[in-house]
Amino acid sequence: MNNNADPPTYQLTTPNSPLSPKICRDTVAMLLAANGHAPHLADTARTLVSEVVTNAVRHTGTPTIRLETAVLADGVRVAVYDDGPAGLLLPSEAAEDSEGGRGLLLVQALAHTWGVGPAYSPGRNGKHVWFELQNPSVPQEG
């Protein structure tokens, strides 16, 4: 399948809209299916993409959101870019009766690894939140 050193990478730019989480999660699921990954990997990726894109929609005034998806031989790496302030994002506990506030906790719990980095263009304000998922049915090298 794909070599992780030079994986195929796909980019999608969407307006900052309530439809963006659905468009982005469906795109990632379709890319994983087209590249032969198991449905359970796509299900987890859909959940995490939805959470990260929803955070960008709700908590930034960015006009556009950029999704970057690298399909790996053993999983996927996803980054969501926005123009929101760069800085440390930490998962926090939400109140029991709260309808939101658990997105980064889900990312932390389900992703193999994740983090926050600077904007995608030098001199541009913003950040990207990324995560990587590994397909547990693919043997790991090492």
SS (H, E, C) the chain: CCCCCCCCEEEEEEECCCCHHHHHHHHHHHHHHHCCCCHHHHHHHHHHHHHHHHHHHHHCCCCEEEEEEEEECCEEEEEEEECCCCCCCCCCCCCCCCCCCCHHHHHHHHCCEEEEEECCCCCCCCEEEEEEEECCCCCCCC
Report the predicted TM-score, pTM, of the whole model to 2 decimal places: 0.81
Q: For the segment 34-59, what is each residue's pLDDT rounded down to a tens digit?
A: 999 999 999 999 999 999 999 999 88
**With bands split at pLDDT 50, 70 and 90, how would you rate the model's confidence at 126?**
confident
Q: For the segment 64-123, what is each residue's pLDDT rounded down to a tens digit?
A: 999 999 999 999 999 999 987 665 454 445 445 544 445 788 999 999 999 988 876 666
